Amino acid sequence: MSSQPHTVLSWVVRRTRLPLLSLRCLDCRSESATTGEGRFRVNANGKLLDVWLLVRCVTCNRTSKLTVHERASVRSLDPGELRGYHTNDPELVASRLLDPLLARRHRFTLDWTGAWRLETPPAWLDRAWPVQVEVAFDDPVPVRPDRLIARGLGLSRNEALRRIKCDIPLSRPTSTGFAFTVMASEDPRVTPGACVRS
Q: Which helix (H) or strand (E) holds 119?
A: strand 116-119
Can you tell me the distance from the alpha carbon of 37 to that of 109, in angstroms, rounded to the nearest whole number?
19
CB of 16 to Zn ion, least distance (A): 25
Helix axes 79-87, 90-97, angle to 10 degrees: 100
Q: Does 62 bind Zn ion (CB under 5 A)?
A: yes
Q: Does 8 bind Zn ion (CB under 5 A)?
A: no
Give 36 or 169: the residue with its C-beta nearer to Zn ion: 36
Q: Does 60 bind Zn ion (CB under 5 A)?
A: yes
Q: Does 30 bind Zn ion (CB under 5 A)?
A: yes
CB of 26 to Zn ion, least distance (A): 8
Count CB-CB contacts under 10 A for residue 116. Answer: 18
Q: In 77-120, which ranges are continuous DSSP H helix?
A: 79-87, 90-97, 100-106
User: 40 with 85: CB under 8 angstroms?
Assistant: yes
Q: In the chain, which ranges are continuous DSSP H helix?
A: 79-87, 90-97, 100-106, 145-153, 157-163
Q: Does 23 bind Zn ion (CB under 5 A)?
A: no
Can you tell me the distance from the alpha carbon of 84 to that of 100, in angstroms, rounded to the nearest whole number?
20
CB of 29 to Zn ion, least distance (A): 7
Give 63 or 176: the residue with its C-beta nearer to Zn ion: 63
CB of 147 to Zn ion, least distance (A): 31
Give 32 or 120: the residue with its C-beta nearer to Zn ion: 32
Stretch that binds Zn ion, among 55-63, 82-90, 97-105, 151-159 (CB under 5 A): 55-63
CB of 159 to Zn ion, least distance (A): 43
Q: Does 59 bind Zn ion (CB under 5 A)?
A: yes
Q: Is the peptide bond before 90 cis (omega within 30 degrees of 0)?
A: no
Residues lying near Zn ion in the complex (CB under 5 A):
25, 27-28, 30, 57, 59-60, 62
